[in-house]
Structure 1
Amino acid sequence: MLAFLTILLAWGYGFNIPGILPRDYPEGHHIEIQVRELHSTETQLPFDYYYLNFCKPEGMNVAANENIAEILTGDQREKSPYFIEMNIEKICVKVCDKKNNKEQIANFKWMIDNNYYASWVLDGLPSGLRKFAKFERNEYKVSFYQDGFPIGYRLKGKYYVFNHANIFVKVYFDGENWRIVGFLVEPLSLNNDASMSCLSENFSRYINITKMKQEIILPPDEMIESMNYEGLPQELQKEIVYTYSTFFEKSDIKWASRWDMYTYGAGSKTDVHWLSIINSFALVLFLSSIIAHILCRTIRNDISNYNDSTELEIRETGWKQIRGEIFRRPAYANLFCMIIGSGVQLICTSFVGLGCAYIGFLSPSYREIFLIFTFIMYMLFGTVSGYVSARFYKMFELKRWKINILGTALLYPGVCIVVFIPINACVMSEESSAAVPFTAMFFWLFLWFGIFGSLVYLGGGYGNLKDTISNPCKVNKIPRPISFPVNLRMHFVYFLAGSLPFGCMFMELSYVMKSMWHHTLFYYLFGFSLLCYIVLIITSAEVSILMTYLLLCREDYRWWWISVEVAGSSGIYFFIYAFGYYYAELNFSRISSFVFYFGYMFLASATFSVITGTIGFLATFVFIRTIYSLIKSD
């Protein structure tokens, strides 16, 4: 097992992790530009950068070092032919001549129609968008700190390609060396058929405009009226000449703050985050006051009257009457244990992941590292999953604990695999770079069963050796009939209660969704996510306790699944929100994009439901054990 972990770590981290420490460049030092995928919000299908007929570096393999997360996400970095030297400006450097056949021209047209963006990387920073614009009758140099820039545009039925790139590198000089603190690309369409348009006098005048005042715009800003170079554009045709220019701009931004303008939610948008956090805490205080009223007054009075009274009519009422049934084994107890074990594992993984991201352990330069880190944490917490599942399984006095451990190891991963296979098949049919190769899939399955299964079995075996959980009340041999069973109306009330945990994450979820499905935006406000997650834990626990208490007052002891249902129903709201977000923001036209989006949203909703449902059950279980341990047993 240790050997498997070593292999995983070597593959995941065998390459350097840029972005952790600053890199100093002397003047004239070569700076490598890497290219990433071509992406579009309209299709959500990424493609390899060289899927289009762009210039490639000659005499070398274009593939850069990859880690396993890049292979899984399709976000693979490759080498480029652009040669940048620190603090040395270049004007109109020819990259190559490219000849396009009919198929390559058709690919360009399809991607321009679907608003595909190209993404470059310099020193770990993604390429922002620089362009000139008119804003309130003034001309400005406008910077959009987003991921990528368009590859072309369509005008009056004709297609034009951006074949020239003005590369702007923002640098900080410490007196000896230079550090890169910003990276912007201005794409231009220049007609290079007869001569190099970027060598013309008209282009030189255009370059001088770069000395104008700079305005930083947080996307999106619809008040900007776009402008372009006033020369002849390059129409999409069989032969295209690609060129570039490089410019360096000194900046007062320190290296540690260079991501501030890239991360989504910078500037005044943090006020909205704080407002959502305050609203969530207000909801927690409201629920806490209700729970405190129940615990401090109602239940305390019930327990006091029960323990002091000798009359059976007074003692045997409400939730106290079912003390001999309250710990009776639930229906489908084996499945229940599997879900709770998987939920505890997901809770631990998400909490540790968000905590490490908040303290800055994970660099935004390589967001794929977060995926590797999360997967490793998930596998290591397999011992916790097996232990918790085995403990409850033994408490229910069931005997086939090995079957339970096997089911715990396969339940959540099995659901993920079943959903992932059709998603990958659709993406693979589109020749998208997001398709996971079969070799990588087999490798992950090998790790899954070789490492994860062993850890779950190890935790389950240890849990089975532990003493059985002792509950404060014994279970009657004959089940008590239920006078007021839960009806459809009560289930609807439980479903409505599930909206409260979802409401705590609603505002932050909107930012996360925009970062996930709008590739030009970044999200790195993990501090807000961690606060929302803590609020989510408290809210899920309080809602489940409150609804379960109302159930017990109806003398219904079938609380096990109800405690999971109340908080877990928030995952349904998550999926409903995904539908609303699709119709409001996305509206794909391709079936593969539809399957891709809703497949992953289903997995996210199911994960959210398992996490909140498990939190609700664990809190309710502690609550019930506490109140029933306070009454005298006969």
Structure 2
Amino acid sequence: MRRNHGRFTALQPGVGVVLLFLINRTSPTRPPPRHPPPLSRTLPTSPPTPRLASPPMAIAGGRLLLLAAVVLLSAAATPARAFYLPGVAPRDFQKDDELQVKVNKLSSTKTQLPYDYYFLDYCKPEAIKNSAENLGEVLRGDRIENSVYNFKMRRDETCKVVCRSKLSPEAAKNFKEKIDDEYRVNMILDNLPVVVPRQTREGSQTPSFEHGYRVGYKLKDDKYYINNHLSFKVLYHEDPNSPDARIVGFHVIPSSIKHEYGAWDDKNPSVQTCNANNKITPGSHTPQDVVPETYVVFSYDVTFEASEIIWASRWDVYLLSSDSQIHWFSIINSLMIVLFLSGMVAMIMMRTLYKDIANYNQLDNQDEAQEETGWKLVHGDVFRPPVHSGLLCVYVGTGVQFFGMTLVTMMFALLGFLSPANRGGLMTAMVLLWVFMGVLAGYTSSRLYKMFKGTEWKKITLKTAFMFPGIIFALFFFLNALIWGEKSSGAVPFGTMFALFLLWFGISVPLVFVGSFLGFKQPAIEDPVKTNKIPRQIPEQAWYLQPAFSILAGGILPFGAVFIELFFILTSIWLNQFYYIFGFLFIVFVILIVTCAEITIVLCYFQLCSEDYHWWWRAYLTAGSSALYLFAYAIFYFFNKLEITKFVSGILYFGYMLIISYAFFVLTGTIGFYACFWFVRKIYASVKID
């Protein structure tokens, strides 16, 4: 497992400077004017009780959030254990039972283009059979097939020759290219991927491994050598009450050996380099170079070793990380900083608004009303439908669909259903949940559109069903065409593409229409105050309240909540490593929701205090702008952490990161919009306006 981790810098504290600056410049807790700012209309003689949460309630809410975070941290703090799906029983093997090693794709972190194992001129079985794969495995580029490596349980074998292959010029060229690009061979035994033990650091008690073994290596003299001899070690755990055993580990040490042999017999191949009683010692023989029109003999050893590892924890070796301390302290640091800033913002806003509403409700004469300023002054325009209201409804509905998919996926992941042992399960779950969450997209977009008094409900429904998925699919199709051009096995086959179309048009689109129909059947959402017929003129805004600045400033804090976890997610995606700490991920997701909501409410409040009532799109874009920082970080990660050299691979990286950033924009934008929507309705319903 190759690591390329850098140092972390504390980005989040800089956000506090921006927030404090905005609070100091716009907070209505400044000293009152000579004449208190009254209402511009007839005011109530007796002030109603404000319905907003009081400061003690805000503090209590912060404590509850902190308590929830501590509980989640405690749950996440337990050591990583692979959780297996209910109903999936372990396989028991008796001595001499047949064990078949399956081969998976050839993978490289330098190209990000997987290839079929038999793309290279390896030994082939009489008939190549593809294993049944789920949707997620196909989308990941997995190609699982049978191989010539067959063992017998607990039966050691030494110097087992599998075949002799003559390298054609094309085959030699392919081997050299894959060695240059640092490709690795992935194998599977009893659903366990093969790993290569590597040297343990001094003082470290935890062994470390690399996923898959290298195709070969290149020396300084520009000579290429192929790893043609594999020394396998299979770990098994015995049942003390029966002769059965379970496989709990699958290791390999690759070697390059130029085998010597006499007359070759395909039916009974043998070599002089080693025999059944003479095991090969790595580095003790001349390596096998890659030269066209030469023969390469492929061989292997296999040893079985009893282990104390139980079957339920056999994935631990794949999940343990040598940099776990960096992960832990970084996540805790991010959590504490974000919780502190969120608590500070929540208390300031609750104290300020509580006093604000109390002051407004105590005004009792018309003279005071003439000098009314602040957020209440725009009550007649604050619920005026925004420009491009239909497009806003579409994006909000899509965001709700994405939020539902993300939440349910995380619930399944926390329960262990999407562990790395369930290969392709995460991708499959995300696609299927996205499809079935279409009913939420249709319902929410139609409800919002009806509140805006829209009439073209079919048009909005079609946009909800096709806009976001259409953009994503267009990008995906373009990237898939590039992969096809590289003859990579990562290209999605026609049958899978047809299945995706069927899921989209056959399930998702009808569900969007069902949700839209149900939404339009509901009564329209009533505004707490009436909207004036003539729009109010918006005064000139200070530079720090201009849309561009406030929107970009609002995206810093949500990104600051996720950027450390984002590092590990990108590492798992682009450096072929497992991501498994879903407890941490859920904590970060909760923090993201809180920060998106609070930063949007804060900036929305400042905007209304400056008598700018165009908050609808601003609320969506404020939280959604965090996607810009995510994409900027992806650019930084590409140039500082990855070693991608091919142009097509770079296009693939930025194409997929663009899709991820776009989805993140829709998710965070919707969270911010609904937080501001609730906030605005709450404050204008909390004061009496005649």
- 1:426 deviation in Å? 1.0
1:7 maps to none
2:264 is the alignment partner of 1:199: no
Query: Per-residue CA shift, 1:459-482, capped at 9, x if unaligned?
Result: 000000100011211111110000
Alpha-carbon distance in 1 for matches of 2:428, 2:276:
51
- 1:194 deviation in Å? 3.3
- 1:71 deviation in Å? 2.5
2:212 is the alignment partner of 1:163: no
Worse-matched range after superposition: 384-393 or 187-196:
187-196
2:553 is the alignment partner of 1:496: yes
* Alpha carbons 2:85, 2:416 under 8 Å: kept: no
- 1:317 deviation in Å? 1.5
Query: Per-residue CA shift, 1:321-376, capped at 9, x if unaligned?
Result: 00111111011101100000000110110111011111112241233122111111
2:160 maps to 93
In structure 1, the residue corresponding to 2:535 is in which secondary structure? Answer: coil
2:100 maps to 32
1:117 maps to 184
In structure 2, the residue corresponding to 1:145 is in which secondary structure? Answer: strand
In structure 1, the residue corresponding to 2:674 is in which secondary structure? Answer: helix
* Alpha carbons 1:515, 1:523 under 8 Å: kept: yes
Alpha-carbon distance in 2 for matches of 1:275, 1:107:
42
2:170 is the alignment partner of 1:103: yes
Alpha-carbon distance in 1 for matches of 2:235, 2:683:
63
2:656 is the alignment partner of 1:589: no
1:292 maps to 347
- 1:201 deviation in Å? 10
In structure 1, the residue corresponding to 2:211 is in which secondary structure? Answer: coil
Worse-matched range after superposition: 616-625 or 360-369:
360-369
Structure with larger Rg: 2
- 1:624 deviation in Å? 0.9
2:679 maps to 623
- The 1:508/1:142 distance shift into structure 2, 3 A limit, reads closer
Residue 664 of structure 2, aligned match among 599, 608, 614: 608
Worse-matched range after superposition: 491-500 or 501-510:
491-500
- 1:135 deviation in Å? 7.1
- 1:268 deviation in Å? 5.8
- 1:81 deviation in Å? 0.9
* Alpha carbons 2:111, 2:644 under 8 Å: kept: yes
Alpha-carbon distance in 2 for matches of 1:310, 1:201:
102
Alpha-carbon distance in 2 for matches of 1:604, 1:134:
36
Residue 574 of structure 2, aligned match among 514, 517, 530: 517
1:235 maps to 289
Higher strand share: 1
1:532 maps to 588
- The 1:31/1:270 distance shift into structure 2, 3 A limit, reads farther
1:359 maps to 415
- The 1:379/1:486 distance shift into structure 2, 3 A limit, reads farther
Alpha-carbon distance in 1 for matches of 2:488, 2:678:
49
2:340 is the alignment partner of 1:273: no
2:617 maps to 561
Letter in 1 for 2:324: K
Q: Normalised by the size of structure 2, how large is the TM-score?
A: 0.82
* Alpha carbons 1:126, 1:147 under 8 Å: kept: yes
Alpha-carbon distance in 2 for matches of 1:312, 1:45:
73
- 1:418 deviation in Å? 1.7
1:172 maps to 237
Alpha-carbon distance in 1 for matches of 2:612, 2:326:
45
Alpha-carbon distance in 2 for matches of 1:274, 1:178:
39
**Number of aligned pairs?**
591
Alignment of 1:66-465 (within 5 A): 66-130=133-197, 144-155=208-219, 156-175=221-240, 176=242, 177-194=244-261, 196=271, 199=274, 204=279, 206=281, 228-237=282-291, 238-263=294-319, 266=321, 269=324, 272-295=327-350, 297-312=351-366, 314-315=368-369, 316-465=372-521
Unaligned runs of 5+ in 2: 1-83, 263-270
Letter in 1 for 2:339: V
Alpha-carbon distance in 2 for matches of 1:267, 1:314:
67
Alpha-carbon distance in 2 for matches of 1:314, 1:110:
81
Worse-matched range after superposition: 38-47 or 306-315:
306-315
* Alpha carbons 1:63, 1:78 under 8 Å: kept: yes
Query: Per-residue CA shift, 1:379-430, capped at 9, x if unaligned?
Result: 1111011000000000000100110010001111011012112211111100
- The 1:271/1:597 distance shift into structure 2, 3 A limit, reads closer
Query: Per-residue CA shift, 1:38-77, capped at 9, x if unaligned?
Result: 011111110011000111112x333222233332222121
Letter in 2 for 1:170: L
Worse-matched range after superposition: 328-337 or 301-310:
301-310
- 1:590 deviation in Å? 1.7
- The 1:559/1:17 distance shift into structure 2, 3 A limit, reads same
- 1:173 deviation in Å? 1.1
Where relative contact order (Cα < 8 A, 6+ residues apart) is larger, the structure is 2
CA root-mean-square deviation = 2.4
In structure 2, the residue corresponding to 1:523 is in which secondary structure? Answer: coil
